[in-house]
Amino acid sequence: MINKSAVEMAESLSKGEITSVELTKAHLNQINEVDGQVHAFLHVDTQGALDQASQVDAKRSAGEKMPALAGVPLALKDVLVQKGIPTTCGSKMLEGWRPPYDSTVVRKLKENGIVILGKTNMDEFAMGSSTENSAYGPTKNPWDLTRIPGGSGGGSSASLASFQAPLAIGTDTGGSIRQPAAVTGTVGVKPTYGAVSRYGLVAFSSSLDQAGPCARTVLDAAYLHEAIAGHDPLDSTSINAQVPAVVAAAKDGNVKGMKIGVIKELQGDGYQAGVLKLFNESLEILASLGAEIVEVSCKYFDYALAAYYLIAPSECSSNLARFDAMRYGIRSGQGSAEEVMNSTRQIGFGREVKRRIILGTYALSSGYYDAYYGSAQKVRTLISRDFESAFKLADVLVSPTAPTTAFKIGEKSNDPIAMYLNDIATIPTNLAGIGGMSLPSGLAAEDGLPAGFQIMAPAMKDDLMYKVGAALEAELNTKWQGPILNSAPKLGAK
């Protein structure tokens, strides 16, 4: 059962072939079997999950009309608060903290009867591309346990790829849903900024952060997307508009006559040959389905990484000021408030978080503000304009999701710039606030590891990504004789 898609699980539940308690137990068993090796979870809420599952079963047997995904389990990135459940953000700073409320995403999951198995590992405060920055040790890539599962949401994606959960929630500030999806052979979607509420999502960079669905199929992601999206008065940047019909689009999967724009700047130097080969093969598939492939140029994308690494640290230096040893989490040291704050932040934050706080504080300081933060904001506008022009020529834009397949644990952990370069293709969408999806394009010839295909759509047209993604996925399943994830090594007893 755990190898099935979430939609198939939901069907079995509604037909009464299986109960949610049985399904939840099967996943908890898998967690017991394999998570010692993978380390996708920071906290498993066994009792809470079973209680939630039995409530869903009771409602179903009482004849209540159930939401589409009711009774299906899910893994939650540890950056979203869930009442009473430890939330660490992968940081020592929040060790032992139990939030007193539910984030809007969690509230919606519960309303939809989706069973929350536990909290997944992540780079500290979502800063990183490998999950090596977690204070609780790295997550391993289920395809090869010596490799990274991507980041910052490596725990969520690894839980899917090791069949510990059929659905997961991630957050994407610069690629943390899509790059982990790419390197684990799973699907990840960053919706349009403002489409999913940020209420209860611990802030890293507020103008970029966006939660979204992670799954093993495009249709599963679509169902989860519809479950968590929608206007929320508790988030001032939440969009008050109808959620695009992403499930219908994923079911439709017809790309005939669509224009697909290949971004010239997001390929070539620095991209692994096997990743590019799979990308081009996917383009051929889309063309064979009747889409028109055009080339577009986004010349300011070359500055996207530099702009992001000023804007995100600037916002994080301000957002993380709240961890002052007074309000949340750990407290260390003695003396004045300042001394206690100093020593708590000294031991509570890891190296990457400190690096970014220092960088952001510097970029925002008087005398440097215009040169750094101000310039980065201008570049951000130019990148949005690049997208606007490109979307005049194409309905959706595409690129490889990440330049390479999963690298080795430790390979880039001492080289921040090499680490930052992983997000070269995902960051532009965050800067422009538009949506992006990654789905597996196949296994790279040189290392047999999964690569990702990225689809980007204009703001609030997230349905277009699902339409193209579903079309491509169906053909790739034929080409690879089943889902690409089927070739992943089988961990634990199935």
Task: Report the residue number, 129 or 399, with the smaller CB distance to ligand GLN.
Answer: 129
For 214, phi then psi, to 5°, come to -125, 140
The footprint of ligand GLN on residues 195-254 (CB under 6 A) is: 204
Task: Report the residue number, 6 or 425, with the smaller CB distance to ligand GLN.
Answer: 425
Q: Which stretch binds ligand GLN (CB under 6 A): 171-179, 278-286, 381-389, 433-441?
A: 171-179
Residue 154 found at the interface with ligand GLN (CB under 6 A): no
Active-site residue, selected from the candidate residues 20, 129, 152, 413: 152
Q: What is the nearest approach in angstroms of ligand GLN to the Cβ of residue 249? A: 24
Active-site residue, selected from the candidate residues 77, 92, 140, 467: 77
Residue 383 found at the interface with ligand GLN (CB under 6 A): no
Residue 175 found at the interface with ligand GLN (CB under 6 A): yes
Residue 317 found at the interface with ligand GLN (CB under 6 A): no
Closest CA to 402 of 246, 198, 172, 192: 172
Task: Report the residue number, 23 or 304, with the smaller CB distance to ligand GLN.
Answer: 304
Closest CA to 143 of 401, 405, 454, 423: 405
- Is 176 an active-site residue? yes
Which amino acid would we find at residue 199? Y
Q: What is the nearest approach in angstroms of ligand GLN to the Cβ of residue 470? A: 24
Residue 129 found at the interface with ligand GLN (CB under 6 A): yes
Residue 152 found at the interface with ligand GLN (CB under 6 A): yes
Which residues, at least 6 apart from 380, have a Cβ–Cβ distance to it below 8 Å? 307, 311, 431, 432
Q: Each residue of 296-326: b (16+ CB within 10 Å) or e? A: bebebbebbbebbbbbbbbbbbbbbeebbbe
Q: How far apart, in Å, are the Cα atoms of 286 and each of 91, 267, 362? A: 42, 18, 46
Active-site residue, selected from the candidate residues 20, 103, 129, 176: 176
Burial class (CB in 10 A: 0-12, 13-18, 19+), 69: buried
Q: What is the nearest approach in angstroms of ligand GLN to the Cβ of residue 426? A: 8
Residue 53 found at the interface with ligand GLN (CB under 6 A): no
Which residues, at least 6 apart from 226, have a Cβ–Cβ distance to it below 8 Å? 68, 243, 246, 247
Q: How far apart, in Å, are the Cα atoms of 250 and each of 21, 50, 63, 247? A: 29, 31, 29, 5
Contact 328, 341 (CB under 8 A): no
Which of 75, 203, 307, 312 lies at the binding interface for ligand GLN (CB under 6 A)?
A: 312
Task: Report the residue number, 275 or 312, with the smaller CB distance to ligand GLN.
Answer: 312
Task: Report the residue number, 129 or 317, with the smaller CB distance to ligand GLN.
Answer: 129
Which of 73, 90, 128, 244 lies at the binding interface for ligand GLN (CB under 6 A)?
A: 128
For residue 196, give the DSSP letter. Answer: B
Structure tokens at 82: 């869930």
* 43 membership: H or E segment, kind and range: strand 41-44
Residue 315 found at the interface with ligand GLN (CB under 6 A): no
Task: Report the residue number, 223 or 373, with the smaller CB distance to ligand GLN.
Answer: 373
Q: What is the nearest approach in angstroms of ligand GLN to the Cβ of residue 130? A: 8
- Is 314 an active-site residue? no
Contact pattern from residue 84 through residue 123 relative to ligand GLN, giving x for each residue in contact according to CB under 6 A and a dash for the rest:
----------------------------------------
Residue 423 found at the interface with ligand GLN (CB under 6 A): yes
Which of 35, 45, 57, 172 lies at the binding interface for ligand GLN (CB under 6 A)?
A: 172
Residue 127 found at the interface with ligand GLN (CB under 6 A): yes
For residue 220, give the DSSP letter. Answer: H
Which residues, at least 6 apart from 47, have a Cβ–Cβ distance to it below 8 Å? none
Which of 126, 221, 246, 456 lies at the binding interface for ligand GLN (CB under 6 A)?
A: 126
CA atoms within 13 A on the CB side of 463: 13
Structure tokens at 479: 């080409």
Count CB neighbours of 44 within 10 A. Answer: 19
Structure tokens at 370: 């215009």
Which of 30, 176, 438, 454 lies at the binding interface for ligand GLN (CB under 6 A)?
A: 176
Residue 156 found at the interface with ligand GLN (CB under 6 A): no
Task: Report the residue number, 76 or 285, with the smaller CB distance to ligand GLN.
Answer: 76
Structure tokens at 74: 């899910």
Q: Which residues make up the interface to ligand GLN (CB under 6 A)?
A: 126-129, 152, 172-176, 204, 312, 423
Known catalytic residues are 77, 152, 176
